[in-house]
Structure 1
Amino acid sequence: MPIDRAKTARGAIAGAVAAVVWAAQQPLDKRVFDVDYDDCELLGAAVTDGAAVTPVGWALHTLNGAAFGAAYAVAAPRLPLPSWARGPAVALVESTAVWPGTAFIPSLHPRGSRFPKLWGSRNAFLQATWRHLLFGVVLGELERRLNAPDVEEVPPSYEHVVSTNGHGSIEHAMVTITPVANGAADDDDEDDE
């Protein structure tokens, strides 16, 4: 099945928007979950240091969201889930699959020592789950709306039951009434016996 480039691009837009929503709410969820962890900072600090960490991190996070959204737009129609559940389900599966990688942040990340310990922290896992759930809801709903089929509502045709005089078709009425009339006649014959 060929990939629809326009649909994939709209999925990328939905993913980028969802990633920005995720990043923008991080200050709030840091307070709620009491974990001072920022995904944008993690990404930015992997490639730069100093004042550039924040803008580079936001850019990388948005690009990651766009890539995820593009892949999601291709895969979502094939998922055996209701449309409202696809985004959250895919995001939570991805979150759960990559979570064990947090154990390696302190040793593999160039600036891993500046981040809180995530692996083994219940609150950090809940924070990551919340972030992915939010991302999935925004991605799924936005992608569904952006990639909605361009189908104009066509009113159903009633020509087969309506005649040109506006009173209906006698053939349709007879087909509908006849089985009922025959059934009623059969019941009357049984009563006579």
Structure 2
Amino acid sequence: MSGSLRHALAGIVGALAFLVAMAVDLALLRRRTNDLRLLAGLLPVGHRYWPLLGTIMHLVNGAALGVLYGRLRHRLPRPGWLAGTVFALGENLVLWPLIVVLDRIHPDVRAGRLERFNQPVPFLQEVWRHLAYGITLGLLVDRWQRTESEPAP
């Protein structure tokens, strides 16, 4: 399997871990901070089909970030779980200013279907979710890298 494909698959699995973490925090905190709805709501028909469209967008994003992670891995710290954490939390921080804009213009926020994300609790939810993504991504990429570099029997 090529490196980019391996990294994309690790990104998709990481994105699934993100969704599990999101399901947990949504159930515990009862907040209206669903990333799938946030993503899908950017499309003209997204508010109607947000579970499907948001999931597709989220998984594609996870795969793309996995490929980017693979390209940057050699610049990140060891071990893999730490590298993935640094990468995912860094991505969250770099893109966070977009949340300030989305809080003002997003149709689902304006309609009350989503709450504003630029608040302390939603920010911490995003940290938790990105930790799940990053740790999973980092562990998988390093494990698959080791497996591929081991000599065949």
Q: TM-score range by the shorter chain?
A: 0.7 to 0.9
Does the CA-based 8 Å contact 1:15-1:70 persist in structure 2?
yes
Give the whole-Å Cα distance in 2 for the aligned partners of 1:131 and 1:77. 24
Tell me the alpha carbon deviations over residues 47-93 of structure 1, each in whole angstroms, 9 at most, x when there is no partner: 12454211110010000000000111121023244333100111011
Give the number of aligned pairs.
Answer: 148
Of structures 1 and 2, the one scoring higher in RCO (CA 8 A, sep 6+) is: 2
Given residue 91 of structure 1, which amino acid in structure 2 is its aligned partner? A
Residue deviations 1:98-151 (CA, integer Å, cap 9, x gap) = 2222111133324331320121x2111110000001100011111111222423
CA distance in 1, matches of 2:29, 2:104: 24
Greater mean deviation of Cα atoms: 25-34 or 129-138: 25-34
The two structures have a TM-score, normalised by structure 1, of: 0.69
Question: Once the two structures are aligned, what percentage of the paired residues are identical?
Answer: 30
Q: How far 1:94 sits from its partner (Å)?
A: 1.0
Q: Distance in 2 between matches of 1:18 and 1:50?
A: 25
CA distance in 2, matches of 1:80, 1:50: 40
Establish whether residue 111 from structure 1 lines up as the match of residue 108 from structure 2.
yes
Q: What CA deviation, in whole Å up to 9, does each residue of 1:30-58 have, x standing for no partner?
A: 13344221111111121124542111100
| Paired letter, 1:9 | L
Q: For structure 1, which runs of at least 5 residues remain unmatched after alignment? A: 154-193
Normalised to the residue count of structure 2, the TM-score between the two structures is: 0.86
Q: Which residue of 2 aligns with 1:136?
A: 134
Partner of 2:23: 27
Which structure's CA Rg is the greater one? 1
SS in 1 for 2:33: coil
**Given that residues 37 and 47 in structure 2 are in contact (C-alpha distance below 8 angstroms), is that contact kept between their aligned partners in structure 1?**
no
CA distance in structure 2 between the partners assigned to 1:83 and 1:90 by the alignment: 10
**Distance change in 2, residues 1:110/1:51 (3 Å):** closer
What is the Cα deviation at residue 96 of structure 1? Answer: 1.5
| RMSD over equivalenced CA pairs, Å | 2.0
For residues 21 and 79 of structure 1, the distance between their equivalents in structure 2, rounded to whole angstroms, comes to 21
